[in-house]
Structure 1
C-alpha cells in the first residue's frame, strides 16, 4: 500500500487546522478560567471578611439560595411572569418596527413625514413612557407589554430602514420593471437585502427589552424578576437579589444566543464561522488550479 506524499497546500491546511484547534482550546480555557478565578476570589474575600458578606454574600450561598428558590418553584414563577411580558412585547415591537422600516425605506414621503418625529422619539428613554401607559391602560399587563414593544419597535425600525436604504437602487428599479410590487417586492427583494441589518437590530433590541421589562417590574408589578430584585433589596436579602440578577443575565444571554443561532441558520453566508472552518477554505483554494 502506497502513501501519497502531502502537497505543500495540504501541509499548510493541516498546520492551520492544528493552530485553529489550539486557539479554540485556549479560548475555552480562558473563557472558563477568568470567571472561576473571579468567583473563587469573591468566595475567599467574603469568607475571610475582606468584603462585607452581608452586601457581597459568597457565591456558594447565592448558589444554595438559587437551588432552593428553583426547587420550591418561586424562581420559575418569577421567570414565567417576566417572559409573559417580554416575549409578546418583543414580537409585537419587532413586527411593527420591521414593517414601518420597510415602508419608510421605499417611500420618500413617509421618510420625510416620519423621519424627524422618530428621530426625536428614539432619543426618549422608553421607560419614561411607563407613567403615560399606566394612565391610559391602567395597572394590568398591557402597559408592561407595550413598554417592551415600544423599545423594540424603534431599534428594529431604524435598523430595517438602514438595511433597505443600503439596497442598490438599480436592484429595486429592475424588480419594479419586472412587475414586483407590494408583497412580492417585500419577499424577494427588500427582506433578503435588509435581513442582515434587521437581525442585528433584533439582537440589539433583545438586550434593551430585558432591561426595560426588569425596570418596569421594579415599579409596577408584584411578580417577575424585576420585582424579585427590588423586593429583595427592600427586605435586605442580598442573596435573593443576586439570584435575580444572575437569572436576568442568563436570560439575556440565552435569548441573544438563540438569535445568533437563528441568524446563522437564516443567513449562512453572513454569520461568522468558527475558526475551524477557515482551513477548509484554504484547502479548496489550494486545490483550485491557477489559470
Structure 2
C-alpha cells in the first residue's frame, strides 16, 4: 500500500523538477500566473482585514487567530489552482540551481518577472477592491489597513529583514509540504498550518506587503518611497529564508540520496538501451 505523501528526499527531487519547470515557462505564462498569485495573496489579505477589523478590545486576539486561519486561501489557490508566487520560487528555483539544472541567470530572470507580475496582481486587488469598491477605504477597515501598513513601515532595515527570513522559512516550508502530499486535502493541510503560523506571528511577506501598503497609500496614507524602503529588506529576508533555510538546508541534507537516485536511473537507462541493442 503506497503512502499518502512523499519522503523528504523524494520531495527534494520533485522540488528540483518544479524549479526547472518554472524557468521554462514562456513570458506570457509567467506573467499570467504571476498576476494570479499576486491577486490571490492580496485577496487572502483582504479577507484577513475584513474579518479582523470589527474584532477589537478583549476579542482582538481571537480576531488575529481567525484572520490568520483564513489568510492561507491565497497560497492554497496559488499552489492548487495555479500561480507563480515569488516567495515559493525563492526556494524551488534556486534548488534547481544547486542541482546544476539551471544557471544563476535563469534564477534572477524568473525572480524579476514574477516579482513584477505579483506586484501588478496585488495592487490590482488593492485599487479595484480595496479603493474603488471601498473594502479597505472606510471605517474600521481603513483603520485596520493603515494600522497594519504603519506597523510594517515602522520596522527598521534589520527588523524587516529578519522578519522576512521568518516569513519565508514558513512559506517555503508550506510549499515544500504541498509538493510532498499526493492528494488535494493533504496539500491544503500542508499549506495551511505553516502559512497560518507566519501570519499569526506577524512576519513580513513581500507579496502580501504589495497589497496592504499600497492599499493604505491609495487612501492618502504613507508614500511610495516608504514602501520601497520596506520592500528591499523584506525581499532580501524572504530570499534568505527560502534559499538558505529551506532550499539549501534540504539540499545539503538529502543531496546524496537524490544524486544516487539520478545515477541509478541513468545506469538503468543505459542497461535498457544495451539490452535493446
Q: Same fold (TM over 0.5)?
A: no
Q: Taking CA–CA contacts closer than 8 Å with sequence separation of 6 or more, which of the two structures ends up with the larger relative contact order?
A: 2
- TM-score (structure 1 length as normaliser): 0.29
- TM-score (structure 2 length as normaliser): 0.30
